[in-house]
Amino acid sequence: MTQGPITSPPPVRHAAAPDLSVVIPLYNEVETVPELARRLSEALERLGRSWEVVVVDDGSSDGSFEALAAVHRADPRFRIIQLRRNFGQTPAFAAGFDAARGAVVVTMDADLQNDPDDIGKLLDEMDAGGYDIVSGWRQDRKEPLLLRRIPSFFGNRVMRGLTGVNLRDTGCSLKAYRGEVIKNTRLYGNFHRFIPAVASWYGVRVSEVPVRDNQRAHGSSKYGRGLARAPRVLLDLLTLHFLLNYATRPIHIFGGMGIASFGLGFLISAYLSWVKLFGHENIGNRPLLMLAVLLIIIGVQFVSMGFLGELMVRTYYESQNKPIYAVREMLDGPAA
């Protein structure tokens, strides 16, 4: 039997990458889903750009995924990702960033406290100033003064001091990022609050615009909020400060503390030696002697930790060929 010519299957056609991706983590917000989809569609259509919405269902148990699936069937530009369990806001954002295809990525909360109509403000500011990140600034916040706004005020000041990123409202989820910036930003722990600070390692240009802060329409926040998260945020801030300033040179922080500790212990021991040799005093039972020995030992340990950190950094970067720099633009070759 004669066989016909063997032909290869037709190539798979992928939809063109949109101009804009909106990434939204969602957890148990079934009441908000229809209104969220409607208001987002209306706001994004008015922008005159191609768009997609990536909603990450963070292990909801209230029927949110079924409601999102109905939205996707009605408009495939709403792309839905369902995580196997509730991983938390930062992993949900990370999953959305990995799936986003837009040249610009906008983030917002699912509870509509961030107003979809403000997305245009972020994009206009980004285009006008050539910024890499534009953050929303909630001027008229609706949260309680004592439990939310005052702690947030001091938290923002601490964050500016430790990260060097001058934002007045780091807690606002409504932000716009250049796609290449967010794709090169890796998130761990609860770092979704500090994405501009994490990205600042690459030398990004950041701006801020006033946005609205709406009352929550349904229920209460499903992600942890309030004063209970303050210790976690502070620890994350200290971790971020270390990563931004010493991730590629750990010997500078550990070695600095080691030299300070060793030097102080050496000075105390030198004083005690003088007292022993020339003052003929007994120093064996003096607490100061134990302090000097302890400081010297701690100093040696800190310096050793710095050397080990340097070895780990070199292994991390060299084994994966990771650069320790970021290029914004390169002009090379003959002019066109």
pLDDT in tens, 284-329: 888 899 999 999 999 999 999 999 988 888 887 777 676 666 666 6
Cβ atoms within 10 A of the Cβ of 205, count?
15
Residue-level pLDDT at 2: 43
CB of 100 within 8 A of CB of 182? yes
Mean pLDDT for all residues in the chain: 82
CB of 61 within 8 A of CB of 32? no
Q: What percent of the chain has pLDDT over 90?
A: 43
Query: Count of H helices and E strands in the chain?
Result: 10, 7
pTM: predicted TM-score of the whole model, two decimal places: 0.72
Give the pair of three-digit tokens for residue 89. Answer: 């806001």
Cβ atoms within 10 A of the Cβ of 268, count?
18
Lowest mean pLDDT among 3-12, 100-109, 112-121, 143-152: 3-12
* All residues at 6 or more sequence positions from 175 whose CB lies less than 8 Å from its CB, including other chains: 106, 107, 122, 133, 134, 135, 136, 195, 196
Residue-level pLDDT at 4: 44
Lowest mean pLDDT among 49-53, 237-241, 275-279: 237-241
Cβ-in-10-Å burial (0-12, 13-18, 19+) of 320 comes to: exposed
> What's the mean pLDDT in 20-47?
94
Say yes or no to pLDDT of 172 above 50. Answer: yes
Say yes or no to pLDDT of 11 above 50. Answer: no
